[in-house]
Chain A
Amino acid sequence: MIFEVSHKTVYRYASPVAQSHHLVHLSPRPHERQRIIRHSLVIAPDPAQRNDFTDYFGNPASAVAIENSHSELQIHSRILIEVIPPRKIDLATSAPWEAVARRMSPSQGPHELDVVQYVPPSHHTPPCPSLLAFAEPSFPPERPVLACAMDLTSRIYHDFAYDSSATDVATTIGEILRIRRGVCQDFAHLLIAAFRLMGLPARYASGYLLTKAPPGKPKLVGSDASHAWASVWAPEIGWVDFDPTNNIIPREEHITIAYGRDFGDVSPVTGVLLGGGSHQVDVAVDVAPVLQSGPLASVPDEERPAR
């Protein structure tokens, strides 16, 4: 399936910003299930410095510095991308979780660092006693590791309420477990933290989700937001995504931008400003399917080659 994504962020500052540095994760990550047709990232005002690079986790990133005084900043990412559905996975045939944990343990080498690096806890996924109590029921002896993931996904979906006003980026795992509410970012962190506490690798996925419009109503432009889910690893199978917010294994509707240990590694836009006073942010994300014969020409020429 082919999607056209537009992600536009506008910052308005109460007083002029003298200099700003930003780190941007808005370019889609190359992926065996993703074919990037076009991508453009336009920043206004024009940055004095822009370094595009691949970060430690393999995600495309841009480090941007604006050195002229400005009161408004616009970052507009446009993507044309094809998503290929995953092959059918039989959760029951994945290795028992204990075997995976043993494989990660210190005495076992050689190690695949790209997997092992997702075992230790990170800033947003610290262990805590209530997490242990929450996680353990999903890990009975010898249960296949992907079945554990599906069980957690489903438990989070059923036991936690989606509530965008209940948490913020500083809310801890312990607090989320106490109030049983949160947003997709919190649910992804929760699943990841539980896996890591059991000695298993799990990573954070940031991206977009096509939200289907209610029947008979046109899809509202900008009503979609960026999304987050989790990804866990099984021997012989590799990384498999789980979306606890929707209780599904993503197929074609999830567009991946970046993988990291948690939100902190792949935040779409982060920055440090000199001056600026208070600021106001407007974000508009639009994810629309494109018919194969459809208007590909409506997407501007890419500003730089897709990776």
Chain B
Amino acid sequence: MMTKTEGAEAASGDPSAGYCPIAGDYDEMLDAQAGIRAHWQAFVEDFRQFEGQERRARAQKLRRLVRENGIAQDLFSPTAALDEPWKIDLVPLIFGPEEWRWLEASLIQRARLFAALLDDIYGPQALLRSGKIPPALLLGDKTFIRPLVGTGSGRGRLTFYAADMARDETGNWRVIDSHAETVAGVGFALANRVVHSHVMGDVFASCNARRLAPFFDMLHGELAARAGRDDASIALLTPGPHHEDYFGHAYLARYLSMQLVEGGDLRVVGNNLYVKALDGLKPLDLIVRCVEGLCSDPLELDPGSSFGPPGFMQALRRHPNLSANAVGTAVIENRGLGPYLPELSRELLGEELALSDPPRWWMGDEQAVQHVFANPRGMTIRRAQEGTGRPGSAERGVMPELLNPARLAELKREIRLHGPDYVAEQQVNFAATPSWTEAGFRAKPFAVRFYVALVNGQYHVMPGGIALDVGPMRGVALHSPAGYSRDVWVLSEEKLPAHVSRLRGHLDMPAITRSGGGLRSRVADNLFWLGRYAERADWTMRLMRAALSRLEPDSMSAQHREAVGKALSVLLAKDAGVVSLQGEDSSAKAVEQLVRGLAGRGRAYGLAHSLDLMHQVAGLIRDRLSVELWRTLQNFQSIPIWLGQTLPPSSGELLDCLDEGIATLAAFNGMVAENMTRTYAWTFMEIGRRLERACNLSEMMLALFETEADDAAQSGALLFALEVGDSTLTYRSRYLFAPLLPLVLDLLLVDETNPRSIGFQLDQVASHLDDLPKNTPAGPQMEERKIVLELRTRVQLADVYDLARTDGNGTRPHLKELFTQLSTELPKLSEAITRRYFNLTEDQVKRVNPLGPRP
């Protein structure tokens, strides 16, 4: 175990002076004689130069950058904004040129071996027939994709390979896991480097460490070559924001200028692959696949998952280059292959395997099972296949020697039934490497992930990686739930050229693009709803605020509160089965009850729910939102009142919270208005907002003014309407007398210069709709334009004096008719827009299986 560093070696002193390796483990920085290894000397030298204050400042900056970049934030965990599960150490893991050459060659050999293995598994299957690989090992593996056996390999099935490695106490490397399903979190490695070099770039340069940009340049060139044409359309296919690795997907897609798509964005038509965009289907030439193979075609593979489009297998049989990695590559991740790899290397490559796995036993083999239970010391049993996750998410497994007899019997039963799904492994020691603390360097055990890519027929190793702390125990897995990571530096002997950014390289030949077109229907749909939910939350808060400010016993009469009750009831009544406000009870207490009801959880149109929905749709299109926008929305996620969990006891405090919430949304709206480019993305958000506002205002006006009230109640209602409609000041600036219904109607309904009026909303929606692409000839046959035109004309022609007139029964027939029409037609407008622009998005996909009665 770790021993305490000697003395209070001050933060400003020599950080390596009190460094104490973990007894019995290999140490990256110190050799057996406690001397600093050659490839660490430049780093330690540089680090010594820093004042303690500066080290602290750099560490703080690093933490801040991790948070601001949102690395590894789980969007859907309720505490997302509160923790930072991902941390980057100030001290990198450093490799010297000589060791790196050996690692490079050994990793490339593994990639070549797995590529050859895949070609056999999806081709002649000679290795299975001969028993060089136990057939049941692969044939029973769910990741073996039968429909692709016999298809061509294109430019290679295995483009991306990654290996998790651990160094044992003698300094030898072992491969503890292999990754071939997806890009295995290379986006995290990239993000780590970008963030870390913001803070440690000077030291990086003075150590002469190799940059990642040339590797990604090569990769970019390879992907373009695979896609087969100059302006090829390349997309990274992600399972979506719910996946742990989503951040890495979004980051990599942005870095390599690929579209980020989800299964619901894709269509297979005529054996070809397309992205469904607003203006129709756009062909795709290449998919960088980050969804699991088994989940990529609901028609021929797992019927329950549609992370890829139905018919994807057919498209792949026709176009073997369409997906990188090819679908089905995950079979080589099966840990049960470990014991057979040395022999397979001799057979397939004619070479001895340089890098081996820890000793492993596949539990599908009866003899192996007997051996493992007879010799459980130092063994770990874990699943043979684990699926994809963010780096460090591997499970630790079960150690049979630590189990009590009952649990051991249970494990044996499990192995009897599901043996082939498990492997047993001999635990290895993990080497340790220095970690920065305020008191100097501390030794931490780690494992590291390296990345290999196939470029132009040759495998290349990325000169870097991700190292993760793995805790002090012996083990077999890259298991690091806390996400303590560090950058990996590979030093070069040659003097490296000056920094070349991939992005800057692109600027040399600028191709100006402005359209931002090709917006995917699914994204447009989410933006539309983000606009609607943000507006709905804003409206609800304004309503609640106006209601609460009327509760002071001396401020208003009960008659004034009548309007409040009516307005709140509109929202409450949208929940099925909710009793509306008791007719006469407009006591302060009753109204406060209503407000609290709206703020709490469990109401479809309540504030907590609207904010929740807003956050969820924002999460689904997070790659489209700027960091500032995202952070503004995050404010609502970190405070319990917005989650409807606890409400402030006094209405005064609740009022303060509402003021704050309205200000936060105003900041969000301001950023949207000032910082978002006017692409279709913005247009859809705007349409959503305008529609929602017009709809809410119409419903409220109908409730407040449909029937005649006495003077006091009428005046209360008018003031309330002006306040919620944020038009009190405008009214006062125009008229020097108390509100009158016709004038308020003019301001809130007809006046197209008032950004809060219904007329203004309709005018905006109409002009936005005109801007959108027209798949079909524009004209009266376009339902949504027809609705908006009709409503707009009616509002423009409205005679406010006539609307305000009552009939003999105390109702206002014309006002009622107009606002009823608005309240029923506006939702239809929303549906018409949905039908035209968002249809064929994923929630319409239905799986029918089995079709027909069962035998």
- Interface of A with B (CB < 8 Å)? 9, 11, 18-19, 21-23, 48-49, 51, 55-57, 63, 65, 67, 104-111, 113, 116-117, 119-121, 127-129, 132, 164, 168-169, 183-185, 197, 206, 225-228, 263-264, 267-276, 279, 281, 283
- In the complex, the answer to whether B268 meets A110 with C-beta atoms within 8 Å is no
CB of A56 to closest CB in B, whole Å: 4
- In the complex, the answer to whether B267 meets A281 with C-beta atoms within 8 Å is no
- In the complex, the answer to whether A132 meets B851 with C-beta atoms within 8 Å is no
Question: Is the C-beta of B242 less than 8 angstroms from some C-beta in chain A?
Answer: no
Q: Give the residue name and chain of the A residue nearest to B420 (CB).
A: A120
- In the complex, the answer to whether B852 meets A268 with C-beta atoms within 8 Å is yes
Question: Is the C-beta of B516 less than 8 angstroms from some C-beta in chain A?
Answer: no
User: Which residues of B have CB within 8 Å of A104?
Assistant: 136
Known pairs A128-B417, A271-B299; A225 contacts B139 (CB<8 A): no
Give CA–CA (A9, B300) in the complex, Å.
Answer: 20
Give CA–CA (A264, B847) in the complex, Å.
Answer: 13
Among A48, A105, A184, A206, point to the contact of B365 (Cβ < 8 A).
Answer: A105
Q: Give the residue name and chain of the B residue nearest to A57 (CB).
A: B146
Give CA–CA (A277, B270) in the complex, Å.
Answer: 24
- In the complex, the answer to whether A272 meets B846 with C-beta atoms within 8 Å is yes
Question: Is the C-beta of B394 less than 8 angstroms from some C-beta in chain A?
Answer: no
Give CA–CA (A104, B134) in the complex, Å.
Answer: 9
User: Which residues of A have CB within 8 Å of B669?
Assistant: none
Give the segment of B124-132, B679-687, B757-765 that binds chain A. B124-132
Interface residues of B in 663-703 (CB under 8 A from A): none
Give CA–CA (A227, B853) in the complex, Å.
Answer: 11
Question: Is the C-beta of B789 less than 8 angstroms from some C-beta in chain A?
Answer: no
Give CA–CA (A69, B420) in the complex, Å.
Answer: 46
Question: Is the C-beta of B311 less than 8 angstroms from some C-beta in chain A?
Answer: yes
Give CA–CA (A108, B132) in the complex, Å.
Answer: 10
- In the complex, the answer to whether B848 meets A273 with C-beta atoms within 8 Å is yes
20 contacts between A and B (CB under 8 A): A18-B840, A19-B840, A22-B299, A48-B269, A48-B270, A65-B270, A104-B136, A105-B366, A106-B135, A113-B139, A129-B417, A164-B854, A183-B855, A184-B855, A267-B850, A268-B851, A270-B848, A273-B847, A274-B840, A274-B844
Give CA–CA (A273, B299) in the complex, Å.
Answer: 10
Question: Is the C-beta of B849 less than 8 angstroms from some C-beta in chain A?
Answer: yes
Give CA–CA (A227, B854) in the complex, Å.
Answer: 8
Question: Is the C-beta of B632 less than 8 angstroms from some C-beta in chain A?
Answer: no
Range for the number of chain B residues in contact with chain A: 35 or more
Known pairs A113-B139, A271-B299; A281 contacts B854 (CB<8 A): no
Q: Which of A21, A121, A197, A279 has the most chain B CB atoms closer than 10 A to its own CB?
A: A21
Known pairs A9-B852, A225-B853, A270-B851; A117 contacts B135 (CB<8 A): yes
- In the complex, the answer to whether B136 meets A21 with C-beta atoms within 8 Å is no
- In the complex, the answer to whether A226 meets B855 with C-beta atoms within 8 Å is yes
Give CA–CA (A58, B620) in the complex, Å.
Answer: 42
- In the complex, the answer to whether A63 meets B417 with C-beta atoms within 8 Å is no
Among B130, B420, B846, B849, point to the contact of A109 (Cβ < 8 A).
Answer: B130
User: Which residues of A have CB within 8 Å of B311?
Assistant: 21, 63, 65
CB of A13 to closest CB in B, whole Å: 10
- In the complex, the answer to whether A228 meets B855 with C-beta atoms within 8 Å is yes
- In the complex, the answer to whether A270 meets B850 with C-beta atoms within 8 Å is yes
- In the complex, the answer to whether A110 meets B850 with C-beta atoms within 8 Å is no
- In the complex, the answer to whether A63 meets B140 with C-beta atoms within 8 Å is no
Question: Is the C-beta of B303 less than 8 angstroms from some C-beta in chain A?
Answer: yes
Q: Which of B130, B131, B367 has the most chain A CB atoms closer than 10 A to its own CB?
A: B131
Give CA–CA (A132, B844) in the complex, Å.
Answer: 41
Question: Is the C-beta of B149 less than 8 angstroms from some C-beta in chain A?
Answer: yes
Question: Is the C-beta of B356 less than 8 angstroms from some C-beta in chain A?
Answer: no
Among A23, A49, A184, point to the contact of B299 (Cβ < 8 A).
Answer: A23
A-contact 0/1 string along B132-158, CB 8 Å cutoff: 101111011000001101000000000
- In the complex, the answer to whether A127 meets B418 with C-beta atoms within 8 Å is yes
User: Which residues of A have CB within 8 Å of B417?
Assistant: 127-129, 132, 197
Give CA–CA (A48, B311) in the complex, Å.
Answer: 13
- In the complex, the answer to whether A272 meets B147 with C-beta atoms within 8 Å is no
Q: Identify whether the interface residues of A are mostly helix, strand, loop, or mixed.
A: mixed
User: Which residues of B have CB within 8 Å of A273?
Assistant: 845-848
Question: Is the C-beta of B37 less than 8 angstroms from some C-beta in chain A?
Answer: no
User: Which residues of A have CB within 8 Å of B844?
Assistant: 18, 274-275
Among B132, B140, B269, B310, point to the contact of A272 (Cβ < 8 A).
Answer: B310
A-B pairs, top 4 by smallest CB distance, nearest first, are A109-B131, A120-B140, A106-B134, A272-B310
Question: Is the C-beta of B828 less than 8 angstroms from some C-beta in chain A?
Answer: no
CB of B334 to closest CB in A, whole Å: 12
- In the complex, the answer to whether B855 meets A113 with C-beta atoms within 8 Å is no
Give CA–CA (A276, B843) in the complex, Å.
Answer: 12
- In the complex, the answer to whether B136 meets A56 with C-beta atoms within 8 Å is no
CB of A97 to closest CB in B, whole Å: 15
User: Which residues of B have CB within 8 Å of A21?
Assistant: 268, 299, 310-311
Give CA–CA (A22, B299) in the complex, Å.
Answer: 7
CB of B574 to closest CB in A, whole Å: 24
CB of A268 to closest CB in B, whole Å: 7
Give CA–CA (A68, B269) in the complex, Å.
Answer: 11
Beyond A113-B128, A164-B854, 7 additional contacts (C-beta under 8 Å) are: A23-B299, A65-B268, A120-B139, A128-B417, A185-B854, A197-B417, A275-B839
- In the complex, the answer to whether A56 meets B139 with C-beta atoms within 8 Å is no
A-contact 0/1 string along B363-376, CB 8 Å cutoff: 01111000000000
CB of A261 to closest CB in B, whole Å: 9
Question: Is the C-beta of B834 less than 8 angstroms from some C-beta in chain A?
Answer: no
Give CA–CA (A58, B416) in the complex, Å.
Answer: 31
CB of B569 to closest CB in A, whole Å: 33
Q: Give the residue name and chain of the A residue nearest to B271 (CB).
A: A49
Q: Give the residue name and chain of the B residue nearest to A63 (CB).
A: B314
Question: Is the C-beta of B298 less than 8 angstroms from some C-beta in chain A?
Answer: yes
CB of B146 to closest CB in A, whole Å: 4
Question: Is the C-beta of B732 less than 8 angstroms from some C-beta in chain A?
Answer: no
- In the complex, the answer to whether A129 meets B413 with C-beta atoms within 8 Å is yes
User: Which residues of A have CB within 8 Å of B852?
Assistant: 9, 268-269, 281, 283
Give CA–CA (A206, B852) in the complex, Å.
Answer: 14
User: Which residues of B have CB within 8 Å of A49?
Assistant: 270-271, 314
User: Which residues of A have CB within 8 Å of B413?
Assistant: 129
User: Which residues of B have CB within 8 Å of A121?
Assistant: 140
CB of B701 to closest CB in A, whole Å: 35
User: Which residues of B have CB within 8 Å of A51?
Assistant: 271, 314
- In the complex, the answer to whether B136 meets A120 with C-beta atoms within 8 Å is yes
User: Which residues of B have CB within 8 Å of A206?
Assistant: 855
- In the complex, the answer to whether A270 meets B129 with C-beta atoms within 8 Å is no
Q: Which of B420, B840, B850 has the most chain A CB atoms closer than 10 A to its own CB?
A: B850
User: Which residues of A have CB within 8 Å of B134?
Assistant: 106-107
User: Which residues of B have CB within 8 Å of A105?
Assistant: 365-366
A-contact 0/1 string along B614-635, CB 8 Å cutoff: 0000000000000000000000
- In the complex, the answer to whether B855 meets A185 with C-beta atoms within 8 Å is yes
- In the complex, the answer to whether B851 meets A111 with C-beta atoms within 8 Å is no
Q: Which of A11, A111, A185 has the most chain B CB atoms closer than 10 A to its own CB?
A: A111
- In the complex, the answer to whether A227 meets B855 with C-beta atoms within 8 Å is yes
Known pairs A11-B851, A109-B129; A270 contacts B310 (CB<8 A): no
CB of B367 to closest CB in A, whole Å: 7
Give CA–CA (A49, B268) in the complex, Å.
Answer: 11
Q: Give the residue name and chain of the B residue nearest to A265 (CB).
A: B146
A-contact 0/1 string along B275-312, CB 8 Å cutoff: 00000000000000000000000111001001000110
- In the complex, the answer to whether B851 meets A110 with C-beta atoms within 8 Å is no
User: Which residues of B have CB within 8 Å of A119?
Assistant: 136, 139-140
CB of A58 to closest CB in B, whole Å: 11
CB of A283 to closest CB in B, whole Å: 4
User: Which residues of A have CB within 8 Å of B364?
Assistant: 106
